[in-house]
Amino acid sequence: MADDLISPDGLPRCFGNRLGQDILAHYHDTEWGVPVHDDRHLFEMLTLEGAQAGLSWDVVLRKRASYKMAFHDFDLCRVAAMTDADLEALREDAGVVRNRLKIYSTRGNARAILDLQDEQGSFDSYLWGFVDGQPQVNHFADLGEMPASTPLSDSISKDMKRRGFRFVGSTIIYAFMQGIGMVDDHVAGCWRRSGAHAMCPMER
């Protein structure tokens, strides 16, 4: 175990020793790599990953509560029905990333997910169909071995763009796949690696 993986609380984590990053550690310990099958939660994670483009993930996590308020707790129908005036108002909201294209893409993506639900029953069945319902477990020694994208994320990205989704480039989609557990990328030595979905020591 490399010393730079040891966090201040003594736990070895993929994201390493980052003082003051408790929110990132909690996300790593409780969400990252855990399979998600709820369409609302999947929409939330897709939105946050798209918002993260060009920013650090902990910045977006700190805005997460504000995103839930701004976008009706990620209720797909309510977000899909938001007006241009509603979205323009969010450009003055410091609680979200005030990029016009990112804000408008959230409504567009909600509508694309509703179309998928009509076609395939759920966003969940669409996404997990790319991996036959089973997470892909990788075995990287450290973050340096981890790809930014893969042929699979390329394929998903291409298909989602064809369906009208925005901010779904291959790099964003690979991070999304990691976040929703379609791929388990916990590195060797991470406490989550041995029994990848064991209970967090803080919760025992």
Catalytic-labelled residue, pool 32, 44, 57, 191? 57
Question: Any binding-site annotation on 77?
Answer: no
Which residue in 52, 48, 54, 99 sits closest to 71, CA to CA? 48
Alpha-carbon Rg of the chain, whole angstroms? 17
186 in a labelled binding site: yes
Q: In terms of Cα–Cα distance, which of 102, 109, 92, 95 is closest to 39?
A: 109
Q: Which amino acid would we find at residue 64? A: R
The position carrying tokens 């984590």 is 13
Give me the catalytic one of 32, 44, 49, 174: 49
Catalytic residue list contains 27: yes
57 classed as catalytic: yes
Which CA distances in Å does 79 have to 40, 75, 188?
11, 6, 40
The answer to whether 37 is a known ligand-binding residue is no
Helix (H) or strand (E) holding 53: none
| Catalytic residue set | 27, 49, 57
Residues that constitute the known binding site:
28, 186, 190
Residues that constitute the known binding site for Zn(2+):
28, 186, 190
